[in-house]
Structure 1
C-alpha cells in the first residue's frame, strides 16, 4: 500500500521539489500552501505523514501541528519539519508540539525519502 503524504509549504518551488522526491520514491503526495490549507486537507483526507514548513502566512507549522494533534485521526501521525530554521529553542517547541523530526532547507531529496521511509516503516 502506498503511503499518502501531505506537504505543507508556502514556497511553490519547495512543494514541487518535495513532491518530485517523494513521488519518485513511490509515495502519493498532496500539497497545501500553508497550515490552514493543510488542516483543511487533513479534514477531508487521510495522510500517513505530514512534511511541513515552519514559517508560513495564515498559519505557521507549529500552530498547525498543535491543531492536528487534537484531531483523533492524526494524534500519532509522523510530522517532519522541513525548514530553514535551525535554532535549538524552536526545535524544542516543535518537539513539544508533536513533531517527529527535523530537516533543514536546502535539503537533499535522497535524505528526505530516507527519513520518510524510516518514520513510515516502508
Structure 2
C-alpha cells in the first residue's frame, strides 16, 4: 500500500510538479489550494505526510499547521513547509507550530524526495 501525501499550495503548477515527483517515487497524492481547502480534505483518511506552502490566500501555511496539530487523527502527521520564505524568524515560527522540515523554493525534486524519505518510510 502506498503512502498518502497531502500537497497544499495556491500554485496549481507547483502542486503538479510536486505531485509528479511524488507519484514517480510511488506515493499517492491529494492536492489542496490553501489551508482552508486542505482542512476539508482531512476527513479521517490516513495521511502520512503533509507538504505545505507558507504564503497562501484564505489560510496561510503556519495557521493551517496549527489547525492540523489540533486534530487528533493528524496531530502527529509530519509536515514539510515548501516555501519561498527563507528568513530564520519564519522558519522558527514554522518549527514552533510543528513543521518537521523546511524546503525553500525553487527546489530540486530530489531534495524534496530526500526530505520526504526521512520523514516517512516508503
Residue 97 of structure 2 is matched in structure 1 by 97
SS at match of 1:102: strand
1:46 deviation in Å?
Answer: 2.3
Q: Separation in 1 of the partners of 2:62 and 2:36? A: 11
| Distance in 2 separating the partners of 1:63 and 1:43 | 18
What is the correspondence of 1:47-86 to structure 2 with a 5 Å cutoff? Answer: 47-86=47-86
SS in 2 for 1:51: strand
Runs of 4+ in structure 1 over 3 Å off: none
Q: How far is 1:43 from its partner?
A: 2.4
Q: Which secondary structure does the structure 1 equivalent of 2:42 belong to?
A: helix
1:1-122 equivalent positions in 2, closer than 5 A: 1-43=1-43, 45-122=45-122
What is the total number of aligned residue pairs between the two structures? 122
Q: Which runs of 5+ in 2 are unaligned?
A: none
- C-alpha root-mean-square deviation of aligned residues, in Å? 0.9
Residues 80 and 103 of structure 2 are in contact (CA less than 8 Å); yes or no, is this contact kept in structure 1?
Answer: yes
Aligned-pair CA distance for 1:44: 5.1
Q: TM-score, normalised by structure 1?
A: 0.97
Which structure shows the bigger proportion of residues in helix conformation?
1
Q: Do 2:44 and 2:73's aligned partners in 1 also have CA atoms closer than 8 Å?
A: no
